[in-house]
Each structure stands twice: as C-alpha cells, then as structure tokens.
C-alpha cells in the first residue's frame, strides 16, 4: 500500500550523509517536531535527478523555508557516500541527504520501483512530500519517466 496524506511515516533506519561521515538516524527521530520537504530520486548522478530535481530544491530552498519548511531532505536508494558526494558536487548545505541503501524506506512507504531493465536494480520512485512531525501533509508521486509534480516549484505552489 502506498503512503497517503494523513499517514505517519514508518520508523525505518536511514543513513544521513554528514561532513564527519555517515550517521545512522531513525526516520521517527529525524522527522519529529519539524516540517520537512522530502524528495526522492531514482539515483544520484542520473540525468533528470542531477539536471533538474536536486537543483530545483537548491534554488527554491529559501522560498520553501519562507513557506514554513524547516528542513529539506533528499532520499535515494544509494549509499551515504554517493549521496554526500552528489550533494557536494551539485547540492548545497540546505539539503540533507538521507541514504536508503537497501530500499527499506521506499518499500515501507510503497514507493519502491524496479529499475532492473536499466541495470539499476531496486530503487525508489520519484516523488516529493511535505512531512509535518512525521505525518504526510502533501505527497506528489511522478508517473514513470515524468518530472513535474515532484519538483520544488510544484511543491511551492501547493504550500
């Protein structure tokens, strides 16, 4: 079952990429007491993710925060080292990188995807959501191959 507006996020271990190295975090702790703009990409360094998805949230970070977002986070079925390097190369300090290396979070919210046809294995669908104190307030899931409703611009228009 796919997560919906009003649902509480499952309590899953993620790995946050930090300057000091990977830091394990429980999703219940990470999302507690704050409003988070979370977006997910099929993979770091992939074309749409690198050219449009991450850059959009970097460019719109101040506008999102002005609309009440406390933190912006990106998740992907990649390891924390890859996400950290991608953020250093293309992102900003405004974006927290939450690695879902085994896809456990993607599976638990029903937004996992099989990219085996592209040699990428199990991944996450492309989406964005607003999570307030662990509860989904807004969710925007892309159709396969699309990029429109998971963008920072779309999220801003819904806030």
Q: How many helices (H) and strands (E) does the chain have?
A: 7, 9
User: What is the C-alpha separation between 16 and 30, in angstroms, rounded?
Assistant: 10
- Supply angle C-alpha 11, 98, 146, rounded to 5: 100
Given 49, 77, 83, 99, the catalytic residue: 49
- Counting Cβ atoms within 10 Å, is residue 146 exposed (0-12), middle (13-18) or buried (19+)? exposed
User: How many C-beta neighbours within 10 Å does residue 6 have?
Assistant: 9
The DSSP code for 8 is: B
Give alpha helix (H) positions in 4-151: 27-30, 47-48, 54-59, 61-66, 80-90, 104-108
Please tell me the distance from the alpha carbon of residue 88 to that of residue 101, in angstroms, as a whole number: 19
Is 74 annotated in the active site?
Answer: no
Q: Which residues are catalytic?
A: 49
């Amino acid at each position: 079952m796919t997560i919906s507006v009003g649902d509480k996020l499952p309590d899953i271990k993620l790995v946050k990429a930090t300057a000091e190295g990977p830091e394990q975090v429980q999703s219940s702790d990470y999302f507690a007491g704050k409003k988070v703009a979370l977006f997910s990409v099929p993979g770091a360094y992939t074309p749409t993710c690198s050219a449009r998805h991450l850059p959009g949230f970097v460019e719109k970070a101040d506008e999102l925060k002005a609309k009440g977002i406390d933190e912006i986070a990106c998740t992907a079925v990649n390891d924390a080292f890859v996400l950290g390097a991608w953020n250093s190369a293309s992102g900003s300090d405004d974006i927290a990188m939450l690695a879902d290396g085994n896809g456990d979070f993607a599976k638990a919210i029903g937004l996992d995807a099989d990219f085996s046809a592209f040699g990428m294995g199990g991944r996450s669908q492309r989406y964005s959501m607003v999570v307030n104190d662990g509860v989904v307030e807004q969710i925007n899931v892309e159709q396969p191959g699309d990029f429109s409703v998971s963008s920072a611009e779309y999220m801003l228009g819904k806030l």
